[in-house]
A = this chain, B = another copy of it.
Amino acid sequence: MTIENLNPHSPFPIGGAAFPHPHLLGISGLKNWEIAYIIDQAEHWVKLNRSGASKHDDRLRGLTIINAFFENSTRTLLSFEIAGKRLGADVVNMHAAQSSVKKGETLIDTAVTLNAMRADAIVIRHGSSGAVQLIADKVDCPVINAGDGTHEHPTQALLDALTIKRRKGPIDEQIVTICGDILHSRVARSNIFCLLNMGAQIRVAAPATLIPHGLEQLGVEVFTDFDAAIKGADVVMMLRLQNERMNGDFIPSPREYAFLYGLNEQRIKLAKDDVLIMHPGPINRGVEITSSLADHVTQSAIKEQVEMGVAVRMACLDILTRKARKVEGWA
């Protein structure tokens, strides 16, 4: 089933089957139509968010959403908070990174506590891979992974797919080059799962020390030469270089990294003329990408990615709470 087969005005996929997952823990494990369905639903929220001053839809009114962020992330937290509030939910942030969770409480105890407060959805960001799954196993409500360790960041991949689809058309016609720290990036992992699933042709470019094993077996083309990887690309997706890797064992220096793997005016000419430039943010200007490209009026999709983020998160919160809200066909 392609995206086009979905009725954009229907809350149900064709055939009437409800979204069959209680949580959104990762892209891995999602079927093609499930990804397409979330993306399709997000279009509705893009429209609402652009509809002028008042942009409220109160379908989650009376529900309690807890954003439990064990790792700081201003942007992602803001995006989920705004998404929940625009849907009319009571949104409560738990700033676990700075708080008494450090008193030594186990993760499972935190999960059980949030559950006992009768949350209707829990959004979790955590520094350890698998932590979100652990919590999901202990609670009665939907859990959304907002990034866990080096594992997955599914809403980022969904918002990237939505951005590509809106700007470039069918995803299975795109050559997407992902460049940066592939090894440690949950954004790269989720995007690879998502784009492969949707039929895109994927290339990754990185220093050999930052490429995980086994990508070729999945059908991903692997490059250490960014110039080769970018040739003829429809989309170039740059990853953020984490500060802690900058002068560590993985790369010699930010300057050398920028020289070999930074996106600049010269390099982008190797891609297709109408190439789309993406970055999950926040940007290290002059390291992964030069300012002129990050701000490029027609080629850069970075602003749109942020906008799509709110819409995708609204779609996820809506879809995953339908069962509890007893929406017809989903209860």
The answer to whether A109 has its CB under 8 Å from any CB of chain B is yes
**B56 near A74 (CB under 8 angstroms)?**
no
> Is A285 in the interface zone, CB < 8 Å from B?
yes
Q: Are A307 and B116 in contact (CB-based, < 8 A)?
A: yes
In whole angstroms, how far apart are the Cα atoms of A268 and B209 in the complex? 54
Interchain CB contact under 8 A, B112 and A303: yes
Residue interface mask A275-301, B partner, CB < 8 A = 1:
000000111110000000000000000
Inside 8 A of A66's CB, which chain B residues have their CB? 78
| A63 close to B (CB within 8 Å) | yes
Name the residue on B nearest A113 (C-beta).
B306
Count this chain's copies in the assembly.
3
Known: A62-B54, A62-B56, A307-B116. Contact between A98 and B100, CB under 8 A?
no
- Interface residue A79 (Cβ < 8 Å from any Cβ of B): yes
Interface string of A56-92 (1 = CB under 8 A from B): 1000011110100000111100110110011000101
User: Are B72 and A100 interface neighbours, CB within 8 A?
Assistant: yes
A81 to B, closest residue via Cβ: B92
Interface contact A78-B92, CB-CB below 8 Å: yes
The verdict on A303 contacting B116 (CB below 8 Å), with A54-B61, A74-B96, A283-B109 known, is: yes
**Does any Cβ of B come within 8 Å of A213's Cβ?**
no
Q: Are B75 and A113 in contact (CB under 8 A)?
A: yes
B residues within 8 A CB of A55?
62-64, 118
Would B282 and A324 count as touching, CB distance under 8 A? no
User: Is residue A304 within 8 Å, beta carbon to beta carbon, of the partner chain?
Assistant: yes
A105 at the interface (CB under 8 A from B): yes
Q: Which residues of B contact A94 (CB under 8 A)?
A: 74, 78
* Residues from chain B with Cβ under 8 Å of A160 in the complex: none
Tell yes or no: A266 within 8 A of B by CB: no
CA distance A306 to B90 in the complex (A): 19
Distance A320 CA – B281 CA, assembled complex (angstroms): 30
Residues B53 and A63 in contact, CB atoms below 8 Å apart: yes
B-contact 0/1 string along A30-57, CB 8 Å cutoff: 0000000000000000000110111110
Q: Mark A302-314, 1 if CB is under 8 A from B, else 0.
A: 1110110110000
Residues of B within 8 A of A302 (CB): 112
CA of A109 to CA of B300 in the docked complex: distance in angstroms? 13
Shortest distance in angstroms between A150's beta carbon and chain B's nearest beta carbon? 18
CB of A9 within 8 A of chain B? no
* Chain B residues with CB under 8 A of A283: 105-106, 109
Chain B residues contacting A117 (CB-CB under 8 Å) are 78-79, 82, 306-307, 309-310
User: In the complex, A66 Cα to B285 Cα: how many Å?
Assistant: 25
Residue of B nearest to A283 (CB): B109
- 11 more CB-based (< 8 A) A-B contacts, given A53-B321, A54-B61, A116-B304: A50-B118, A52-B324, A53-B62, A54-B63, A55-B118, A64-B86, A72-B98, A73-B100, A74-B100, A75-B113, A103-B282
Listed from nearest, the 5 A-B pairs whose CB atoms lie closest are A54-B62, A105-B282, A116-B306, A56-B62, A85-B90
Q: List 19 A-B contacts (CB under 8 A).
A: A49-B118, A54-B61, A56-B90, A73-B100, A74-B94, A74-B101, A75-B100, A78-B94, A78-B117, A98-B98, A100-B282, A101-B282, A104-B284, A105-B282, A106-B285, A109-B281, A109-B282, A113-B306, A116-B303
